[in-house]
Amino acid sequence: MKFLDECKIYLQSGDGGAGACSFRRERFIEFGGPDGGNGGKGGDITFVGHQNLNTLIDFRYRQHFKAEKGHHGMGQNRTGGDGEGLEIAVPIGTQILTEDKDEILADITEPGQRVKLLKGGDGGFGNMHFKSSTNQAPRRADDGWPGQEMWVWLRLKLIADVGLVGLPNAGKSTFLAAVTRARPKIAAYPFTTLHPNLGVAYVDEREFVIADIPGLIEGAHEGAGLGDRFLGHIERCRVLLHLVDATEEDVAASWRTIRHELKAYGNGLDKKPEITALNKIDALTPEEIAAKQAQLKKACRRAVHPISGVSGEGVKDVLRLLDQTIQTAKNKGREK
Ligand SMILES: Nc1nc2c(ncn2[C@@H]2O[C@H](COP(=O)(O)OP(=O)(O)OP(=O)(O)O)[C@@H](O)[C@H]2O)c(=O)[nH]1
Ligand SMILES: [Mg+2]
């Protein structure tokens, strides 16, 4: 599946229908009076959060969205029908921004969440509406009110609880595949992952969403490798799982490189709780593991969890810890 996380689209809500100017004409009825009905309302443009989507790729093929116009009013007091509204399904985590990207107009964060962004124009009054004691045969009928139009940017910031970070080849995608039903591409070369993948992990009958993003390298914030644009997708995570490849020579340097990039990216990423894991321990002897663990611990000054995405060693403990951290962060959020 292709992935697209930013696109620009054109929206137009429906114009209102015009009111009618008409008079009742029947045999034997003199001065039948005005009977022009009102115009119908134009259709609205509404965004709806959709759980089964996780890319904006559909918008590459369609950029213009116009809701139906209201129907015109007619004689015999018939009101025009309302124009049909348009619903645009977007993935959870989609933000809608103004054309200059200065303002966030809406943020779709929940499945089924609906945001009516553009209202359709109201219908115009038919001449029936203008009838009064002093003007019993008005010829005035109004046009409908115009709908609204605008260009907007859609920006997807995936919503996950855990963000996986690490150098290319650290085993992020392997970890995701081991603990969720996601099937990301895995290979022994850097930059296998080219776009974020999501998966749902279960532990102790609770579930949370993990996002696997492309690996970072030194200078990612300046555009090196795939750059750091994918970090936007873990901005909303509650905890980061930092995987360090234990088969690397200098695990402390690997860890520092990533921390440096997170800091350079900003947006609160370096302030998020981090769980640090020494990955691929199945490839090392117990002595080597102990040495690498000590080396890494010295650099990051926090607990280092030895794990292996391939053999599954230590994985369950890390999942539990992630779950606890998520719960703590949620409770903290509630207290505020
Ligand atoms: N021995 C061992 N090898 C692993 C483990 N996890 C991953 N690998 C191997 O490491 C290589 C890279 O794994 P990926 O999961 O693609 O790494 P990644 O971090 O997603 O890499 P990018 O997507 O390029 O950033 C693959 O050849 C995996 O088979 C592990 O726990 N033990
Ligand atoms: Mg990968």
Short-list 182, 175, 215, CA closest to 315: 175
Ligand 1 atom closest to Cα of 191? 24
| 269 and 291, same domain (yes or no) | yes
Q: Quick one: pLDDT at residue 259? A: 96
Short-list 67, 46, 48, 62, CA closest to 9: 62
For the record, the structure tokens of 293 come out as 């663990």
Residue 215: CB within 6 Å of ligand 1? yes
Residue 174: CB within 6 Å of ligand 1? yes
Ligand 2: centre distance to CA 241 (Å): 14
3-state secondary structure of 36: coil
d(CA 121, CA 126): 15
pLDDT tens digit sequence for 173-192: 999 999 999 999 999 999 99
Judged by its nearest atom, the ligand closest to the C-alpha of residue 190 is 1
Give the largest CA-CA distance in the chain: 109
> What's the pTM?
0.83
| 127 and 181, same domain (yes or no) | no
d(CA 49, CA 298): 44
Domain membership flag for residue 28: yes
For the record, the structure tokens of 98 come out as 């103004």
Domain membership flag for residue 97: yes
Q: β-strand 239-245 against 274-279: which pairing, if any?
A: parallel
**CATH code for the domain of 84:** 2.70.210.12
| 168 and 269, same domain (yes or no) | yes
| 184 and 318, same domain (yes or no) | yes
Domain membership flag for residue 45: yes
User: Are 19 and 140 in contact, with CB atoms under 8 Å apart?
Assistant: no
d(CA 154, CA 156): 7
Q: Quick one: pLDDT at residue 336? A: 63
| 126 and 172, same domain (yes or no) | no
| 170 and 314, same domain (yes or no) | yes
Q: Quick one: pLDDT at residue 158? A: 87
* DSSP state string for 54-85: ---THHHH--EEEPPPPPPPBTTTBPPPPPPP
Domain membership flag for residue 283: yes
| 150 and 249, same domain (yes or no) | no
* Structural domain range at position 229: 162-335
For the record, the structure tokens of 243 come out as 């995987």
Q: Where are the beta strands (DSSP E) in the chain?
A: 6-12, 45-50, 64-66, 86-91, 94-98, 104-108, 114-118, 149-156, 162-165, 197-203, 206-212, 239-245, 274-279, 304-306
The CB density around residue 28, as the number of other CB atoms within 10 Å, is 4
Ligand 1 atom closest to Cα of 170? 19
For the record, the structure tokens of 128 come out as 């029936």
Domain membership flag for residue 216: yes
For the record, the structure tokens of 175 come out as 């970890």
Ligand 2: centre distance to CA 236 (Å): 20
Q: β-strand 86-91 against 45-50: which pairing, if any?
A: parallel
Q: Quick one: pLDDT at residue 201? A: 94
Residue nearest to ligand 1 atom 21, measured at CA: 169
| 187 and 303, same domain (yes or no) | yes
| 150 and 185, same domain (yes or no) | no
Ligand 2: centre distance to CA 213 (Å): 7
In DSSP terms, 244 is beta-bridged to 278
Short-list 131, 14, 140, 125, CA closest to 73: 125
Q: Report the amino acid identity of residue 105.
A: L
d(CA 68, CA 44): 8
3-state secondary structure of 312: coil
What is the mean pLDDT of each successive set of 10 residues along the chain, which is 336 residues long?
85 97 91 94 96 88 95 95 96 94 94 96 96 93 96 93 95 96 92 92 92 93 89 93 95 96 92 96 95 94 95 95 92 76
Q: Quick one: pLDDT at residue 1? A: 52
**CATH code for the domain of 234:** 3.40.50.300
37 φ/ψ angles, rounded to the nearest 5 degrees: -80, 165
User: Are 269 and 220 in contact, with CB atoms under 8 Å apart?
Assistant: no
From 3, 164, 172, 174, give the residue whose CB has the most ligand 1 atoms within 8 Å, as the site to mutate. 174
Ligand 1: centre distance to CA 234 (Å): 20
Domain C-terminal end among 126, 156, 186? 156
Short-list 332, 148, 325, 176, CA closest to 237: 325
Residue 187: CB within 6 Å of ligand 1? yes
Domain C-terminal end among 156, 190, 207? 156
| 105 and 179, same domain (yes or no) | no
Short-list 112, 28, 19, 6, CA closest to 72: 19
For the chain, how many structural domains are there in total? 2
pLDDT tens digit sequence for 80-107: 999 999 999 999 999 999 999 999 999 9
| 129 and 204, same domain (yes or no) | no
Ligand 1: centre distance to CA 268 (Å): 27
User: Are 171 and 243 in contact, with CB atoms under 8 Å apart?
Assistant: yes
Domain membership flag for residue 1: no
First-to-final CA distance of the chain? 39
| 152 and 46, same domain (yes or no) | yes
Q: Quick one: pLDDT at residue 9? A: 97
